Structure 1
Amino acid sequence: MRVRVSTLKSGVLWKSVAPPLQVGPPLRPLHTPVLSNPSSIPNERIQPLDPLTDLFGRRHTYLRISLSEKCNLRCKYCMPSEGVPLTKRDDLLSTDEIIKLADVFVKQGVNKIRLTGGEPTVRRDIVQIIERLKSLQGLETVAMTTNGLTLTRQLPSLQKAGLDIINISLDTLKPNKYELMTRRKGFERAMAGIHLAKQLGYNPVKINCVVMKDFNDDEICDFVEFTENHSADVRFIEYMPFSGNSWKDDKMVSYKTMVDTIKSRWPNFTPLPNGPNDTSKAWHVPGFKGQVGFISSMSEHFCGSCNRIRLTADGNLKVCLFGNAEVSLRDALRSNISDDDLNCLIGAAIRRKNKQHADMLRHKFLQRDSLKHTNRYQIKSPITLTGRNLIKFPNNYKTFVRTYSSDVHDKLSHVDETGRANMVDVGEKKITNRTAKAKGIVTVGARIIKLIADNEIKKGDVLTVAQIAGIMAAKRTSDIIPLCHNIALSSVNIKLVLNETQILIFADAHCAGQTGVEMEALTAVTVAALTIYDMCKSVSHSISIEKIILIQKTGGKSQYNKYNTEPITDSEMFYPTYV
C-alpha cells in the first residue's frame, strides 16, 4: 500500500484513502513520497492523516502528563541523592496550557490520561486539574501514579474530582528498607494510602514495585502473599536506566527470573489474559483475591503494541519513554500556533517514533543536550539538521518539522577555521559585571564525614584547607587551562556542606570584565574536591569526585540559571513543596 503525503496551505497533512493498516508483526515502515500536485486527487478521496498513528500502524490513545519535576522522595532507582535539575517555574506548563494540550489530544482520539511527576500530588492545583480533565468530551479515564505519602489527606478530594484509577509506588514491605531505598521516611503513610484507596472503592489498587537484585528481590514472594487477602494488583517492574540512577545490568531482575521465583513457592502460579495494549503481563495464584503483573521493559519489550506518549512538565512531547527526542509543544503553544499546525507538529513527532526503543545506553539517533537549552538537539545520522529550527528526516519520509525552539549554535568558540586551537579575542566586548556558580560532590563515606566534623583528620582542618585551595586555584585558572583569559577577580566564595556520606561544594566567582568567570568557578570546585581527597586518602581511597557542573552564569551574552542550587538535607520535609 502506498500512502501519498503532502503539506497543504493550512499546514495539515493529508493522505489518499487506502485499506486500513493492519497492526501486528511484522511491523514495516510506510514509504511517504511527496505529492507534488495534491489538487490532482479528487476531493472525495482525500482525508486527514491521523496525527496519533505512527508509521507502523500503532495508534496512540494513552497520554501521560507529568505535572511536576519535584518529588518528596529520593528513590535510588529514580534520581541521585542531591536531587535533579529543576526547570524555572515560568518554563513549566501552566494549568491552562495543560488543559489546552490535553483537549487537543483528546479531540484527536486520546481516551486515557495518566498524571505523573515527579510526584503529581505536590502540584497545588491537582484537584482542579482532574476536574477540568474530566470535563473533556471523549476522555474516558483519568489515572494517577503517586508515592502515596499525601493520599490520606488528598484522596477523598481527588476521587470526588473524578480520579478513576490510582497506582501507588511501593518497593518494599519493610519500613527500614523503605527508608533506605527512598532516602526518606514515609512507609506508614504510603501503606495508609493503600488501605484508604481500598476503602474508597478503588478495585484493584495498583501497586508498582521496582525490583532490584540483592536489594528487594527477596520480597517478591512477600508481595505475592500480600495479594492473598487484598484485592491489589502488584506490578513488578524491571529496573530501568534513568539519568542519575547509576544503572547496572547486574541489578536487574528479569521477568522470567521473577516468575520462576514465585513458581518455586506457588507451582500453580498462572498467567491471565491480557489486553492488546497492556504493558503488564498479568498472573495470579488461584484462590488469591488480588493478582500480579510484570512490566518487562528491559527483557521483553512491548514496543509492537505501544499506544503511549508522554508530555513532560515543561511541555515537551516524548513519543517513547526511553528515547531522548522531544518536541516542545509549550513553545509552539506560546507562539500562538493554530490547532491545525499543532496537530501537524504532534503527528510529525509520532510518525518518527521508532519500531522499538533503542539500546538504553546507546541511543542511535538523538541525544538531548540537557546542559544548555531545553529544546536543543544533537542530531546524529540518519537525521540531519537543516536550516533554522528544522529537522530533516531520512529521504523516504520527505517530512520537515518545526521544533519551535532556540537556534542551534554548534561552532566551537576555541577552534579557528583550520581546526586549530585558538584563544577568543574579547577586546571588543563590553565590560560588565559577571558572575558564575558551580557545584560538585565528593563522596567519602560516613566514617570520614565524622572525622571531618570532629576535626580529627591527621592533615588538619579539611574544610578550611579545601576552601583556601579552591580560592587560590580560581585566581590561577589561566595558568592551568591554556585558552582561558587572565581575569582580575573581584571575589571568590566557596561553601562546603556535609551530609551523611558526602561533601557538597559550592563556588561562586565575580568580576567586572569582558569575559565570563565560569571556568574560575569550576576550577575552584575541582581543586577544593581534590584537596579533600588528598587530605582524606590516608583513611580510605574509596573516595569519588563527581558531578562538577556549572549551575549559574550571568552578565554575559549567554546566561542561564539551570540548576537548583540548594543541597538536599535530612531536614527536608516530605510534604509537598508546591509548584
Structure 2
Amino acid sequence: MTLLEDGFARRFHYLRLSVTDVCNFRCTYCLPDGYRPDGRKSFLSLDEIRTLTRTFAAMGTHKVRLTGGEPSLRRDLTEIIETVASTPGIRKVALTTNGYRLRERAAEWRRAGLTSLNVSVDSLDARQFHRITGEDKFAEVMAGIDAALAAGFERVKVNAVLLKGLNDHELDTFLGWIRDNPIELRFIELMQTGEMDERFARHHVSGETIKARLLQSGWLSQLRGQDDGPAQVFCHPQSQGRIGLIMPYAKDFCADCNRLRVSATGKLHLCLFGEQGVDLRDLLADASDEAALIERVRLAVQGKARSHYLQQGLVGNTPHLASIGG
C-alpha cells in the first residue's frame, strides 16, 4: 500500500470529495449572491468517482466525506453513496448537506451506506435562518434532522458559522437545544476567502472566545480520533449533545492535518486555501491508469505546504467555500 504522507510526516486518511459546486442556498458567508455558473461544467461521473475512491482507498484512505455545493442536487447521490460505501477499505462515508432534502432521503441514504451526517443550521430562529441562508427552509431542515435520527444516525452533526451581529448571540440557545438531543454542534469560525474580505471584517467571531466560554461553563475537551476532522470536541456531564469548534486561525491548526480534497471537476486540492489544484481527471476515465493516478497524487502530496497561512492574511485562490467543497 502506498500511504499518503507529506514532507512534514502528516498522513492522510480522509478525503473530502465534492460532487457538485452548485448550491440552492445563498448563505451570507459563502454565496451571498447565489450560485453563479462559470460556464458549463461537467462534474465527476459515477464511474470516475468509483475509480477515484478505489485509488484513494489503495493509498490508505478510509473515510470519505461527500460535499458540495449541495450534494443532494445530484440526482444520483444515492448511487454515489452506494459506490463509495462498497469500496474495499472505506469504513466511513459522511455527507455534508444544507438539509433541504434530508426529511425524505435520510432513510434511503442510510440504507445506501451513509454512516454520518453534517447538516448546516446557522440559526435556531426561523427568521434569522432565512436572513443568513436566503431560504425560508428552517422547518424543513429541522424536520430532516429528526428524520435522520429516526433513520438510525446515532449522532447528527450540525454545522453553524457564528457571525457577529447576526447569530453570535444564540450560543446559549444552541447549548440549550443540544442538552437533551444527541447532536454534535460544530461552531465554524468564519474564514476569509477571495470574495469575502468585507464580510469577514464585519462578521468574524474568534473561535477562541467561544472556547473560553465553554471551558468556564464546565465543558471538557475530548481526544481527537485518527480520521476525525479538525474540530476540537467538548462534552459536558449535563448535556447529551457535544460541541465541536473548528478554529482555522488557532495556533498549529494545520499541524495534524489528515485530509485532502478533490473538487467536483476532478482537481486535487491539498488545502482549502492557496493553490489552483492538480488535475486528476485525465487519469480517471481509464481504470487501468491507477498506478499513474497514485503516483500523481503521491508527488502532489509531498509538496503540501506546512500551513494555510491564513493568519498572515493569505487567502489563496479560493473564491468561496462552495467552489471546492468547504
- What is the TM-score normalised by the length of structure 2? 0.90
Residues in 2 aligned to 1:283 and 1:59: alpha-carbon distance in whole angstroms: 24
Q: How many residues matched? A: 319
What residue is the counterpart of 1:188 in the other structure? 139
Residue 107 of structure 1: how far off its partner (Å)? 1.3
Query: Post-superposition shift, 1:308?
Result: 0.3
Alignment of 1:150-299 (within 5 A): 150-246=101-197, 247-262=199-214, 267-276=217-226, 278=228, 279-299=230-250
Kindly provide the amino acid, as one letter, of the partner of residue 74 in structure 1: R
Aligned pairs (5 A) from 1:445-524? none
In 2, Cα distance between equivalents of 1:136 and 1:343: 16
* Deviations 1:471-495 (CA, angstroms, capped at 9, x unpaired): xxxxxxxxxxxxxxxxxxxxxxxxx
DSSP 3-state at the match of 2:149? helix
Matches within 5 A, 1:115-130: 115-130=66-81
Aligned residue type for 1:248: F
- What's the offset of the Cα at 1:367? 4.9
Q: Which has the bigger relative contact order, CA under 8 A and spacing at least 6?
A: 2
Deviations 1:360-401 (A, max 9, x none): 77549x75899xxx9xxxxxxxxxxxxxxxxxxxxxxxxxxx
2:252 and 2:200 map into 1 onto residues whose CA distance is 18
Equivalent residue for 1:83?
A: 35
- Write out aligned runs for 1:365-380 (5 A): 367=317
CA distance in 1, matches of 2:239, 2:95: 25
Tell me how far apart the structure 1 counterparts of residues 166 and 14 of structure 2 sit (CA, whole Å).
32
Tell me the equivalent position of 1:307.
Answer: 258
* CA gap 1:102/1:341 in 2 versus in 1, 3 angstroms: same
Contact 2:190 2:204 in 1 (8 A): yes
Percent of counterpart pairs with the same letter? Answer: 34
Cα deviation for residue 359 of structure 1 reads: 2.9
What is the Cα-based RMSD across aligned positions, in Å?
Answer: 2.4
Aligned to 2:276: 325
Contact 1:80 1:244 in 2 (8 A): no
Structure 2 residue 59 is matched with structure 1 residue 108: yes
Match of 1:406 in 2: none
Which residue, out of 42, 51, 57, partners 2:9? 57
For residues 89-141 of structure 1, the C-alpha deviation after alignment (integer angstroms, 9 at most, x for no partner) is 4x321111111111111111110000000000010000111111122111101
Q: Give the letter aligned to residue 316 of structure 1.
A: K
CA distance in 2, matches of 1:273, 1:354: 25
- Matched position secondary structure for 1:338: helix
Distance 1:361 1:184, change over 3 A: farther
Contact 2:5 2:12 in 1 (8 A): yes
Structure 2 match to 1:346: 297
Bigger share in helix: 2
SS of the aligned residue for 1:74 comes to: coil
Distance 1:136 1:175, change over 3 A: same
CA distance, structure 2, for counterparts of residue 138 and residue 237 of structure 1: 30
Q: 1:80 offset after TM fit, Å?
A: 3.2
**How far off its partner does 1:178 sit?**
0.7
What do the CA deviations read for 1:328-378 (whole angstroms, capped 9, x no partner)? 1013435888222211110111111011112377549x75899xxx9xxxx
Per-residue deviation at 1:196?
A: 1.1
- For residues 233 and 290 of structure 2, the distance between their equivalents in structure 1, rounded to whole angstroms, comes to 39
Aligned-partner Cα distance in 1 for 2:39–2:58: 29
The Cα shift of 1:276 comes to 4.8
Q: Distance in 2 between matches of 1:145 and 1:308?
A: 15
Rounded Cα–Cα distance in structure 2 between residues aligned with 1:330 and 1:166: 27
User: CA deviation digits over 1:446-471, x for unaligned, max 9?
Assistant: xxxxxxxxxxxxxxxxxxxxxxxxxx
Kept in 1, the 8 Å contact 2:208–2:247? The answer is no
- The code of the aligned residue for 2:129 comes to Y
CA distance in 2, matches of 1:260, 1:362: 24
5+ residue gaps, structure 2, are none
Tell me if structure 1 keeps the 8 A contact 2:13–2:227. Answer: no
Determine if contact 1:87/1:314 at 8 Å carries over to the other structure: no
Equivalent residue for 1:67?
19
Q: Give the whole-Å Cα distance in 1 for the aligned partners of 2:233 and 2:29.
A: 24
Distance change (3 Å), C-alpha of 1:263 and 1:218: farther
- TM-aligned CA deviation for residue 193 of structure 1: 0.7
Q: Give the Cα–Cα distance (whole angstroms) in 1 for the partners of residues 18 and 257 of structure 2.
A: 19
Give 1 or 2: higher strand fraction: 1
Distance in 2, Cα, partners of 1:149 & 1:228: 24
Structure 1 residue 291: Cα displacement: 0.9
Amino acid at match of 1:274: R
How many Å separate the matches in 2 of 1:369 and 1:72? 17
1:481 — aligned with what? none
TM-superposed deviation, 1:84: 3.0
Computing the radius of gyration from Cα coordinates, the structure with the larger value is: 1
Corresponding letter in the other structure for 1:315: G
Task: Check 1:334–1:273 CA distance in 2 against 1; reply closer, same or farther (3 A cut).
Answer: closer
CA offsets, 1:290-326, max 9 Å, x none?
Answer: 1111011123452111110011001100011122230
Could you tell me how far apart the structure 2 residues matched to 1:108 and 1:232 are? 32
Give the Cα–Cα distance (whole angstroms) in 2 for the partners of residues 172 and 51 of structure 1.
Answer: 40
Q: Normalising by structure 1, report the TM-score.
A: 0.52
Instruction: Give 3-state SS (helix, strand or coil) of 2:245's partner.
Output: strand
2:31 aligned counterpart, secondary structure: coil
Q: 1:94 to 1:189 in 2, by over 3 A?
A: same
Q: Secondary structure at the match of 1:282?
A: strand
- Inter-CA distance 212–299: structure 2 relative to 1 (3 Å threshold): farther
